[in-house]
Amino acid sequence: MSSLQDLPPFPSDVPTAPIARIALYSLLASEPSACASVLEACRTHGFFYLDMASTPLGSSLLSASARLHEISHQVFDHDLDYKTAHDLIKGVSLFGYKRAGTVKTTDPTLRPDSTEFFNIAKDHVHAIKPSLSYPSEITAPETWSLLHAFTRDAHAVGMLILRMLATQLDVAPTAFTAKNDLNQPSGDHVRLTHQPARVPDATNAIGLPSHTDFGSVTLLFNWLGGLQIQSHDPAHLDEWAYVRPLAGHAVINLGDAMVTFTNGVLKSAKHRVVDAPGEQGRVGRYSVVYFVRPHDEAVMEACEEFKHLGGKGRVAGKFEPRVERGEVLRAGEWMRQRAVQLGS
């Protein structure tokens, strides 16, 4: 197994996306330039790096994500029968195992995905709902309490970003956080991902086809390249560029719920995962993700302050949620429909 110390380096000769680096420390101190950079990033690339240095919150997230990376090796090493005994069920539960090849194919050549996931619900870890059965390495008391701290801290970072965005957009500071309550049932989860090492000359699969995330804020901890976003450089518009993994940083992006809440003012950027470049592609790729999502009862409409914009805040390509006549669409149902559409 590759430990974090001996992973091959990211190559220096592949195009990378020039996304902003913003320090968690500066956001916690409400430094105006850092807060303005968050808004700028969420209106343009839709992605930014969050430097975790010099804060207990950042250190605790980094060490928890490194430990979850180690545990992921054990979890994904089980044979397929063991893993599929924990399968998530499309349209019924977002949580559990997702095998490779089940995500909606959005790639022009319809390549299936090569990534397997374990989605572990915040509601299970925080005993908000009775838990499903997960592999024993996940439910071991040491891991379960690590997941408890990790979900709490990742959610706290999400709330900090949402408060910053509300303040920068001149709306009530709680406009977005009020829709993402940690203590209410929600689709929040930790996702452990695994993509096998590159198979030489094979082009018949893609790590994860292009998609947007469905929730409010995504925090990603990754150690190998492979994540890509589309370029904003007029000379290379829409070409895919790697997001170079940076030690000590998380990668942050907004999801579709924030597009809906702001009537399209904020962006959920398309991204995809391909084989890690160069030497990095020779080893399996693991990532640890936390999805902050609106709680199940949150109404999926633009916040009052954004209603006047009248736009539709369209998300996720052709996705049109179905709403019964006279009903309001709440996040629980919205997430369910999106998960059926995307297959994750």
The footprint of ligand AKG (CB under 6 A) covers: 191, 193, 208, 213, 220, 222, 227, 271, 273, 287, 289
DSSP code per residue over 257-285: HHHHHTTTSS----EEE-PPPGGGGGS-E
Question: Which of ligand AKG, Fe ion, none does residue 244 bind to, with CB < 5 to 8 Å depending on kind?
Answer: none
Cβ neighbours, 10 Å, residue 197:
14
Q: How far is the CB of 209 from ligand AKG (least distance, A)?
A: 10
Annotate 241-257 with b (16+ C-beta within 10 A) or e (fewer): bbbbbeeebbbbbbbbb
Distance (Å, rounded) from C-alpha 118 to C-alpha 106? Answer: 22
Question: Which of ligand AKG, Fe ion, none does residue 289 bind to, with CB < 5 to 8 Å depending on kind?
Answer: ligand AKG
Closest by alpha carbon to 188, among 222, 214, 164?
214
Cβ neighbours, 10 Å, residue 232:
16
Distance (Å, rounded) from C-alpha 344 to C-alpha 342? Answer: 6
- Which residue number, 176 or 291, has a Cβ lying nearer to ligand AKG? 291
Question: Which of Fe ion, ligand AKG, none does residue 191 bind to, with CB < 5 to 8 Å depending on kind?
Answer: ligand AKG
Question: Which of ligand AKG, Fe ion, none does residue 163 bind to, with CB < 5 to 8 Å depending on kind?
Answer: none
Distance (Å, rounded) from C-alpha 59 to C-alpha 51? Answer: 10
Question: Which of ligand AKG, Fe ion, none does residue 180 bind to, with CB < 5 to 8 Å depending on kind?
Answer: none
Q: How far is the CB of 105 from Fe ion (least distance, A)?
A: 15
Beta bridge partners of 217: 254, 292
Q: What's the distance, CA 240 to chain centroid? A: 18
Any contact of residue 213 with Fe ion (CB under 5 A)? yes
- Which residue number, 47 or 76, has a Cβ lying nearer to Fe ion? 47
- Directed axis angle between helix 141-168 and helix 56-77, to 10°? 130
DSSP-assigned letter for residue 63: H
With 0-12 CB in 10 A as exposed, 13-18 as middle and 19+ as buried, what is 17?
buried
Any contact of residue 275 with Fe ion (CB under 5 A)? no
Closest by alpha carbon to 180, among 103, 279, 77, 290?
290
Q: How far is the CB of 63 from Fe ion (least distance, A)?
A: 23
- Which residue number, 137 or 213, has a Cβ lying nearer to Fe ion? 213
Any contact of residue 113 with Fe ion (CB under 5 A)? no
Report which residue's Cβ sits closest to ligand AKG.
Answer: 287
- Which residue number, 26 or 218, has a Cβ lying nearer to ligand AKG? 218
Could you tell me the two tokens for 318? 């052709």
- Which residue number, 113 or 153, has a Cβ lying nearer to Fe ion? 113
- Which residue number, 205 or 303, has a Cβ lying nearer to ligand AKG? 205
Number of residues located near Fe ion, criterion CB under 5 A? 1
Q: Distance of CA 43 to CAs 179, 244, 288, Å?
A: 20, 20, 25
Any contact of residue 256 with Fe ion (CB under 5 A)? no
- Which residue number, 169 or 257, has a Cβ lying nearer to ligand AKG? 257
- Region of 82-90, 97-105, 207-215, 308-316 interacting with Fe ion (CB under 5 A): 207-215
Q: How far is the CB of 217 from ligand AKG (least distance, A)?
A: 12
Q: How far is the CB of 272 from ligand AKG (least distance, A)?
A: 8
Q: How far is the CB of 286 from ligand AKG (least distance, A)?
A: 8
- Which residue number, 153 or 213, has a Cβ lying nearer to Fe ion? 213
Distance (Å, rounded) from C-alpha 276 to C-alpha 226? Answer: 4
Q: How far is the CB of 278 from ligand AKG (least distance, A)?
A: 17
Please give the residue ranges that form the binding site for Fe ion (CB under 5 A): 213
